[in-house]
Amino acid sequence: MTSELLLIATLDGIAYAALVFIVSVGLTLIFGVLRVLNVAHGSLYAVGAYVAASFGLGIAAAKISPWLSYPALAVAAAIVGIVLGSAIERLLLQRIYDKEEVLQLLATFAVFMILDDVQRLIWGVQPYFVATPLQLLGNVQIGSITYTAYQIILLPAVAVVVLVGLRLYLRHATSGKVILAVAEDREAARAIGINVSRVYLTTFIIGAILAALGGSLASPTTSILPGMGTDMLVLSFAVAASAGLGRIEGAAITALLIGLGRSIAVYWAPELDILVPYLIMTLVLLVRPQGLFSSFQSRRI
Amino acid sequence: MTALLEVKDLSIRFGGVVAADGISLAVQEGENLAIIGPNGAGKTTFLNICTGYLSPAGGTVHFEGRDITRLAPRKITKLGIARAFQIPQLFLEQTVTENMLLAITARRGAWSAVRPLGDAAAREEAMMILGQLKVADHADRRADELPEGTRKLVDIAIALALGPRLLLMDEPTSGVASSEKFAVMDVLVAALAARGVASVFVEHDMDMVTRYANRVAVWNGGRIQKDGTPQDVLSDPEVRRTVIGH
Amino acid sequence: MSWRGLGGLVLAALILAAVGYWLPWTRTLLIIAMSKGLAALGIIVLLRAGQVSFGHAMFFAASAYAAGFVSRALGGTDIAVMLIVGVVAAAALSAVVGLFVVRYRQIFFGMLNLALSMVLYSILEKFFEITGGSDGLRMRRPSMFGLVLDRNDFDLALVFLSIGFALLATVGVLVYFASPLGQALRAIKSNETRLEYIGVSARSVLLISYVISAVTGAVGGVLLAALQELASPSFSYWIQSGEFVFIAILGGAAHPIGAFAGALVYEGVQIYASAFATDVWELILGLVIVGIILFAPRGLVGLAYETFAGRARKAPADDSGAIYDVAPAAGEQRQ
């Protein structure tokens, strides 16, 4: 592979890693606090993408300023995250926290199936491609490569903002610290008067918004197809699991590793593109099942 | 004579707590060693290390001359060490009898995917052990329905069913009704003696220690403060002050 | 298992066979139900150890494709050959995959299986020169134990064969569940630490169950491929795995017969629903799973038990929704 291709692969990897991080950090946050693996995370990503695309089409049809498509991306994520997030948590998750893990997994898997169908009912199976936000920002020159500013500047910037924002929020804001307390020890938190139920709802909504944000940010970069949810689910799980479920900063590192790994693998052998997320997850769990960054092992006896 | 269980220079720490700091200890055949000491001193950790649940930072554990320091619990059990836990570890969804039959099957290695669990001989053996520990009445109850004291006894019964040469117990009679404690321990210690099984038990109840141990080790701050016969140890003023409290 | 229980199962099998014999339009439904039920039975086996695989379809597919390859290589073959090839292929694959997968539990187990089944799906779909791609792998209708049958007779014979396998598998799994290895599976679920502490390797016990579950799925895969004369990549898709899990939960995971009860209801409803609800099928499925989890976690078998068991044995209000026990003992407590 020429050094030029390698550079392109690296830039692709960074852009992709930014997206994957945003989605994965939502997944890992939900797991860290609620102890539930949200299988529906993939659909939240997909629906976020579809809604953002629809907004984009609406903006174009209404002939208003295309610059509005940027806030539209954020609004799409917020709406999907809040509406679907609270629906899922209140109507379903809330009732199954005390049930066996298997049933919890099945429940979020069921939500995944429901949303997969809903998205097909609303948007059909044809591809959507609304690239306005991507095109508006133009290109930048990196070495001998021309690359879109959206992918190499905006996406990583948003990822960094999410990372730093989450860290600041969880460590310094009162409600953030409350979330950490519940993640650490639910019963102790309840004992000092924290409304655990509300913390769960808030956390799930934040996670859902992040998944949807990943989707809406991804929508200008690729054509949106049914099935994008599954790929992103497996990939974000791979990122979260390889960092250690619940570890936020670690997820940034593993997202970068996996994003770069995927891009380079795809340039090297394009037929592998759908295979790669699944292979990566398999490899990571083979090598270090508890994640790269977790060190504590609970004693049960 | 080679000690049955030989621990040399064992050390392990958790965060800031030194659970073991160069501990050396030997258990001979036929001994009933009681380990006493303040809470959190590392007594259960010691049992965890001896049975392979934890790896020490330094030191070795030998059983019948064989180095078992890094072996997994499964292998150590097969070599002849059985364990009963502070919080009883039972197969909660299955009956007491099924719990026992699983242990007996494991001992015999009679794993089958076809023949039903437990033949007549195995069931008889299970009932005998349960009877000795006075829990035979509970044989058909699910383990998660049992009261605490019964669970402890079933836990010990399972360990006995494995036919070990060394039995490690963590507070064997805690949770058992006081009227029953002596009766159960009488039977247990007699059964162990009859089978030639040595035992190590962590204990807080000094009555149990004086009556059933023939050796006592005091575990305090990661070190063995004193090691000797019950009379020697329990009359030692240092020990009385730091461990027993009077 | 009591003679009465065995008799009941045989009777159920005979009734199904009679239905297939007298009502030709039910034959396809029965074959598909038995085939998917066999795969769902594999899910039930794994559930006994408290694990759920979201990728069980990979063995369904591997078996069908292996049988298809051999059939094509031989220019058509016998159903017995296809079954043997399918089972051997799935057993081998599950033994290899299992060695790796049984080190994981819960979420990781479920997701790893999902990932691997999707790897297989991607391979089956991409390499179309070998596998036929998304069009699938065509194969000739096999002979039935040496007899070359026309369409009608073949379908009928396949119905009997499928029901026969379903019966065999149900009895086999019941025997397995009562055996030491099957009981050890339950021990994995409730206290794996204790299992290790009686000297048993939980991984070995789980691996054996994993291979068994793959084999039942393999038989199902061959039966379906023989019926359709086709193996397609969708046999390995995550939705297919989800379907198997759904059928197991719908029917009730406490008893092997739940796999087939669930499959019959599922396929039956699908035929009617597809008339007006093809687009929303996944939606309905998802909603029903949610309903079952919330209100009837023991599935149809559980509901049947509660209805016909005489004494009221409804689960207590604080039930954690265990799906493994049809008859919770009185006074049970959930952690």
- Condensed to tens digits (0 to 9), the pLDDT of residues B58-100 reads 899 999 999 999 999 999 999 999 999 989 999 999 999 999 9
The DSSP line for A22-76 is HHHHHHHHHHHHH----TTHHHHHHHHHHHHHHHHHHHHHTT--GGGHHHHHHHH
H-helix segments, C23-104: 27-47, 57-73, 79-101
B179 — contact with chain C (CB < 8 Å)?
A: no
Mean pLDDT of A108-128: 88
The pLDDT value recorded for residue C1 is 67
**Where do the structural domains in chain A lie, given as residue ranges?**
3-286
Would you place residue C312 in the very low, low, confident or very high pLDDT band (cuts 50, 70, 90)?
A: very low
Q: Average pLDDT in the A9-15 region?
A: 90
pLDDT digits (tens, 9 = 90+) for C184-211: 999 999 999 999 999 999 999 999 999 9
CB atoms within 10 A of CB C11: 10
Check whether C331 has a pLDDT greater than 70.
Answer: no
| Amino acid C180: pLDDT | 96
Residue A37 with chain C: CB contacts under 8 Å: 107, 111
User: Given this model, what pLDDT does residue B184 score?
Assistant: 84
pLDDT(C325) > 70: no
Q: Which residues contact B174 (CB under 8 A, 6 or more apart)?
A: B86, B152, B204, B205
CA atoms within 13 A on the CB side of C214: 28
Condensed to tens digits (0 to 9), the pLDDT of residues C155-166 reads 999 999 999 999
The pLDDT > 70 percentage for chain A reads 94
Domain-by-domain residue ranges, chain B? 5-244
Q: How far apart are CA A293 and CA B222, in angstroms?
A: 29
Tell me the two tokens of residue A27.
């997944």
The residues that bridge with B82 in the sheet, in sequence order, are B167
What is the distance in angstroms between the Cα of B44 and the nearest Cα belonging to chain A?
A: 8
How does pLDDT run across C76-126, given as a tens digit for each residue? 899 999 999 999 999 999 999 999 899 888 888 888 898 899 889 989 988
Please list every residue in chain C whose beta carbon sits closer than 8 Å to the beta carbon of residue A93: none
| Torsion from C-alpha of C241, C244, C246, C249, nearest 10 degrees | -130
Residue A1 has pLDDT above 80, yes or no: no
CA A67 centroid distance within chain: 24
* Cα distance between residue A146 and residue C37, in whole Å: 55
Looking at per-residue pLDDT, the higher value among C67 and A181 belongs to C67
Which residue bears the tokens 């009555």? Answer: B207
Q: Tell me which chain C residues have a C-beta less than 8 angstroms from the C-beta of A120.
A: 279
Please give, rounded to a whole number of angstroms, the shortest distance from the CA of B17 to a CA of chain A.
15
Pair B85, B159: CB distance under 8 Å:
no
Cβ distance C321 to A110 less than 8 Å, yes or no, reads no
Judge contact between C237 and C222, C-beta under 8 A.
Answer: no
CATH of the structural domain A3-286, one choice from 1.10.3470, 2.30.30, 1.20.1530, 1.20.1630: 1.10.3470
Tell me which of A278, A283, A284, A288 to substitute to probe the interface with C (most C C-beta atoms closer than 10 Å).
Answer: A278
Most B CBs within 10 Å, among C191, C198, C201, to test the B interface: C198
Take residue C24 and report the two structure tokens written for it. Answer: 């030709």
The C-alpha of B42 sits at a distance from chain A's nearest C-alpha, in angstroms, of 13
Q: In the structure, what pLDDT confidence band is assigned to residue C315 with cuts at 50, 70 and 90?
A: very low
pLDDT, position C309: 67
Q: Is the pTM of this model over 0.90?
A: no
> What DSSP letter does each residue of B156-194 carry, written as one string?
HHHHHHT--SEEEEESTTTTS-HHHHHHHHHHHHHHHHH
Q: Give the β-pairing of B5-14 and A145-148.
A: unpaired
Answer yes or no: do C179 and B78 touch at CB < 8 A: no
CATH classification of B5-244, choosing from 1.10.150.120, 3.40.640.10, 3.20.80.10, 3.40.50.300? 3.40.50.300
**Which chain B residue has the Cα nearest residue A300?**
B87
* Residue indicated by tokens 């508006």: A136
User: What is the enclosing helix (H) or strand (E) of B39?
Assistant: none
Q: Is the pLDDT of residue C262 over 60?
A: yes
A245 or C180, which is more confident: C180
Mean of per-residue pLDDT scores for chain C: 87
Average pLDDT over residues C316-333: 39
- Which of C52, C122, C318 lies closest to A274 in CB terms? C122
> pLDDT tens digit string along B133-162?
889 999 999 999 999 889 999 999 999 999
Q: Is pLDDT above 60 for A207?
A: yes
Chain B: residue whose CA lies nearest to A297:
B54
Tens digit of each residue's pLDDT (9 = 90 or more) over C39-61: 999 999 999 999 999 999 999 99
A283 touching C (Cβ < 8 Å): no
pLDDT values of chain B reduced to their tens digit, one per residue, 246 residues: 678 999 998 988 877 778 888 889 899 998 999 999 888 778 888 999 999 998 998 899 999 999 999 999 999 999 999 999 989 999 999 999 999 999 999 999 989 989 999 899 999 999 999 988 889 999 999 999 999 889 999 999 999 999 999 999 999 888 888 888 888 888 889 888 888 899 999 988 888 888 999 899 998 878 888 888 888 888 888 888 877 665
d(CA B43, CA B46): 5
More confident residue, C180 or A284: C180
Asked if A301 has any chain B CB less than 8 Å from its own CB, the reply is yes
Distance (Å) of CA A91 to CA A110, A114, B180: 13, 14, 50
